Structure 1
Amino acid sequence: MIPRLYIDAPLKTGAAAPFDSAQAHYLKNVLRRAPGDEVRLFNGRDGEFAAEIAELKKKGGLAGVKAKTREQTSEPELTLYFAPVKRGALETIVQKATEIGVAALQPVLTGRTVASKLNVERLQAIAVEAAEQSGRLSIPSVGEPIKFARMFDGWPENRRLLFCDEAGDDESAEWGGREGRAPPLLEALKDHRRNTDQWAVLTGPEGGFAPEEREALRAKPFVTAATLGPRILRADTAAISALVLWQAALGDWIRP
């Protein structure tokens, strides 16, 4: 298989593209590649190019850019807002969300969020690796954590929010009982047509959203509340499931 790498530099036929030290190490010592071997390069702006390794050294390397193999294409304006969870599940969310096709990932500190300290640089590196391996032409951004109360500051007018609401309205029953539960996700989206609106998906922490957070979300006119079924899902499973269903209903998984 031809290695595929993200390069934060302009790409065009006949130009030279630089490898950083980590990429040079990966190509030379992990993949056992050498000058003359082929790679694929993309930068999120210029499309994907075939390239040939020119040199690999300890401090970096160079590739000669050859023919363009894919034109840059647009992807859905989909952002995942999610409550941070423990490291393993957190990294799974970032990796799988990138593969599924989100444009951005935004951690949100809710009232019941347990894991509040994030290594955003590490998460961004995971997003880059997932993009390289999944064949996508862009890298989703990973934002610094924000508090739930600040989530809607500067919210775009044309962005809708799919709120994964797993609770009901019966305060005496576990998880709010069945009364007041949101409709299933695909049913909640059936009246929304594929259009140019931006979308975001919001999933909560393992303990769910606090009642006041849920009330505030459901009061917003641009929020669509939905449930992910009769079972309580782990936070990482919920995020992946919601993104998959949104892509199948409104995203670029639909046949054009």
Structure 2
Amino acid sequence: MSTPRLYLDQPLEEGREIPATPAQAHYLGGVMRRAPGDAVLLFNGRDGEWAATITALRKDRCAFRPDRPTRPQEATPAARLLVTAVKRDAMDWMAEKATELGIGLIQPVLTRRSITDRVNTGRLAAIAQEAAEQCGRLTVPRVGPAAPLHAVLDAWDGTPLLVGDERRESPPLIQAAQTLSRGTAWAWLVGPEGGFERAELDDLRRRAFVSTVSLGPRILRAETAAVAGLAVLQALAGDWNTL
């Protein structure tokens, strides 16, 4: 029987009882069939991972007692994903997979070909939290508020930003990824279905921190491009060579 693993925005200290959320109480009691005295793992993004015990569980109320730390806290990942707003199911899937791939920030952006100008960031944050609980991360990626692409670029901090060029007029992603220093911050931007407009690509290329890259000879859906690009970058310039 696997031990449930939960994120709580509460300090984790030995012996200090802390409450669960109503949703977590329902999950533990109604879905996982747990009871007082059963073990759970807790993390909060600050204090590492802790082995804990359920001390009370009734309907929508639950409490835990942290017993001992099991893993020290890790740094928040510096890698970021910028993705143009697409349909809800695709956005949900990208949030889940970006979390599993170790991204620190998920930033929805709005472009001229975006199919929506609304993004449910609360929903994306909840999906990211659940994915972090399940994949063993000690942090939950932040989900930024959706903003126009030009506004995000104007406020950019200079971190190298690699941008998928669906016209395949740019060098391969693998070539650009190999120029990045392993362990440093980088970001990956994926455009909308139908691609960026020419004016948007021209604006991106004028910015010193941007490198446009190709993802090969086939046309990829936005969610496929997001995950494929993150996998390449994590392998060549990210944390895939760490234990």
Pairwise CA distance, 1:75? 4.2
- What is the DSSP-based 3-state SS (H/G/I as helix, E as strand, rest coil) of the residue aligned with 1:55? strand
Kindly report which structure 2 residues correspond to 1:89-100, keeping only aligned pairs within 5 A, or say none: 89-100=90-101
| Aligned equivalent of 2:180 | 192
| Aligned equivalent of 2:81 | 80
Amino acid at match of 1:137: L
| Aligned equivalent of 2:124 | 123
Extract unaligned runs of 5+ from structure 1. Answer: 169-180
Structure 1 stretch 57-66 or stretch 8-17: which is displaced more?
A: 57-66
Kindly report which structure 2 residues correspond to 1:50-69, keeping only aligned pairs within 5 A, or say none: 50-69=51-70
1:246 aligns with 2:236: no
| Aligned equivalent of 1:166 | 166
Pairwise CA distance, 1:184? 1.1
Tell me if the contact between 1:50 and 1:68 (Cα under 8 Å) persists in the aligned partners: yes
Tell me if the contact between 1:75 and 1:101 (Cα under 8 Å) persists in the aligned partners: no
Tell me if the contact between 1:166 and 1:182 (Cα under 8 Å) persists in the aligned partners: no
How far apart, CA to CA, are the structure 1 residues paired with 2:100 and 2:188? 16
| Aligned equivalent of 2:192 | 205
Pairwise CA distance, 1:5? 0.2
| Aligned equivalent of 1:175 | none
| Aligned equivalent of 2:204 | 217
1:16 aligns with 2:26: no
How far apart, CA to CA, are the structure 2 residues paired with 1:149 and 1:189? 24
How far apart, CA to CA, are the structure 1 residues paired with 2:242 and 2:26? 40
Question: Which stretches of structure 1, 4 residues or longer, exceed 4 Å deviation after superposition?
Answer: none
Amino acid at match of 1:164: G
Pairwise CA distance, 1:59? 3.6
Pairwise CA distance, 1:83? 0.5
Deviation per CA, 1:180-231, whole angstroms, max 9, x where unpaired?
x1111111222222253x2111000011000000001111111121111100
Kindly report which structure 2 residues correspond to 1:219-234, keeping only aligned pairs within 5 A, or say none: 219-234=206-221
Amino acid at match of 2:118: K
| Gap change, CA 1:52 and 1:190, over 3 Å in 2 | same
Kindly report which structure 2 residues correspond to 1:143-158, keeping only aligned pairs within 5 A, or say none: 143-157=144-158
How far apart, CA to CA, are the structure 2 residues paired with 1:77 and 1:184? 23
Deviation per CA, 1:108-135, whole angstroms, max 9, x where unpaired?
0001000222211111100000000000
Amino acid at match of 2:225: A
| Gap change, CA 1:255 and 1:139, over 3 Å in 2 | closer
Count of matched residue pairs: 242
How far apart, CA to CA, are the structure 2 residues paired with 1:194 and 1:40? 31
Tell me if the contact between 1:76 and 1:251 (Cα under 8 Å) persists in the aligned partners: no
Amino acid at match of 1:36: G
Pairwise CA distance, 1:154? 2.6
| Aligned equivalent of 1:113 | 114
How far apart, CA to CA, are the structure 2 residues paired with 1:189 and 1:126? 28
Pairwise CA distance, 1:85? 1.0
| Aligned equivalent of 1:177 | none
Relative to the length of structure 1, the TM-score reads 0.91
- What is the DSSP-based 3-state SS (H/G/I as helix, E as strand, rest coil) of the residue aligned with 1:151? helix
How far apart, CA to CA, are the structure 1 residues paired with 2:107 and 2:187? 10
Extract unaligned runs of 5+ from structure 2. Answer: none
Tell me if the contact between 1:166 and 1:228 (Cα under 8 Å) persists in the aligned partners: yes
- What is the DSSP-based 3-state SS (H/G/I as helix, E as strand, rest coil) of the residue aligned with 2:117? coil
How far apart, CA to CA, are the structure 1 residues paired with 2:180 and 2:38? 48
Pairwise CA distance, 1:29? 0.3
Identity %: 48
How far apart, CA to CA, are the structure 1 residues paired with 2:227 and 2:183? 22
